[in-house]
Structure 1
Amino acid sequence: MATRHQVRQCVVSLLYAKEMGSEMEHFSDEFLEEKKIRNDQKSFTISLYNGILENLSSIDEQLDNYLGKWKIGEIGSVERQILRLGAYEMRYSDIDSAIAINEAVILANELASESSIKLINGVLDAIAKDKK
């Protein structure tokens, strides 16, 4: 059975693939099966993925407010997807902000550069502080 962390890795990968132009109708099912994301974890993955897409403009607008001199479209695609996932979980789910930030930092450590880790942590931490 897949862990929640593996689910989040898949969500970032699916968002990345969509942004890169992959045909998602068949790709997502095949990808999740390949990663052994099934049953409840598959439902959780699809829920996160669809929730981010449904709220994308709102999420990106919020992230733009915290990125300082950058805009969401100006940072790397992997970093963008990790930020979107973290912001979505903090704003639209009942996941504790500390968990969302920690998961995003771990994902950045696995998938992005050292400087990206600091950026992702800083942006999501600022969002969490304003949320209180």
Structure 2
Amino acid sequence: MATRTQARESVIGLLYAYDLGNEGIAKFVDEILEDKKIRNQQKEFALKIFNGTVDNLESIDKEIISHLTQRTLEDIGSVEKSILRLAVYEILFEDLPKAIIINEAIELSKRLASDGAPKFVNGLLDKIIKA
């Protein structure tokens, strides 16, 4: 059975594709999750956080932008941006412990993103929860 971490990793891939201009990816979410063996409760969780992130993208991006000091949203790599968008969605709209959300985002950025991403993700999310 898939874990929530695996569900989040799949959602980051979906958000990455969405960010690169593949808005039609939303039509294939069920199939993609099934291919990655994300099923049952974890599939419901993945669908909820993917759809929630896409539906609230404007307010999520505004939150991220308001805490950037030396970069613009366009300067952030697509993988890092996808990780941040998912984490900010969870911080703003889900009832989960903030420490767990941030830890998951850091671990996912270690695995999926550039070398400097974990520090950047941690710093930005820390600013957001303290605001």
Bin for the TM-score computed over the shorter chain:
over 0.9
Amino acid at match of 1:20: L
Question: Aligned equivalents of 1:125 and 1:25: distance in 2?
Answer: 30
Q: Match of 2:97?
A: 96
Equivalent residue, structure 1, for 2:81: 80
Task: Map residues 1-132 of structure 1 onto 2, 5 A cutoff.
Answer: 1-22=1-22, 23-130=24-131
Aligned residues: 130
Deviation at residue 25 of structure 1 after TM alignment:
4.6
Q: CA RMSD in A?
A: 1.2
Task: Return closer, same or farther for 1:59/1:25 CA change in 2, 3 Å cut-off.
Answer: closer
How far, CA to CA, are the matches of 1:26 and 1:62 in structure 2?
27
How far the C-alpha of 1:24 sits from its partner, in A, is: 1.6
Query: Unaligned regions of 5+ residues in structure 2, if any?
Result: none
The alpha-carbon deviation at position 40 of structure 1 amounts to 1.4
Q: CA deviation at 1:29?
A: 2.0
Determine what percentage of the aligned residue pairs are the same residue. Answer: 48
Structure 1: which 5+ runs fail to align?
none
Q: How far apart in 2 are the matches of 1:105 and 1:50?
A: 22
Instruction: State how far apart, in whole Å, the 2-side matches of 1:18 and 1:126 are.
Output: 26
Given the superposition, is the C-alpha separation of residues 13 and 47 from structure 1 closer, same or farther in structure 2, using an over 3 Å criterion?
Answer: same
Q: Deviations over 1:18-60 (max 9, x none)?
A: 2223332553222111110111111110100010111101010
CA–CA distance in 1 between the matches of 2:51 and 2:29? 12
TM-score by length of 1: 0.93
TM-score by length of 2: 0.93
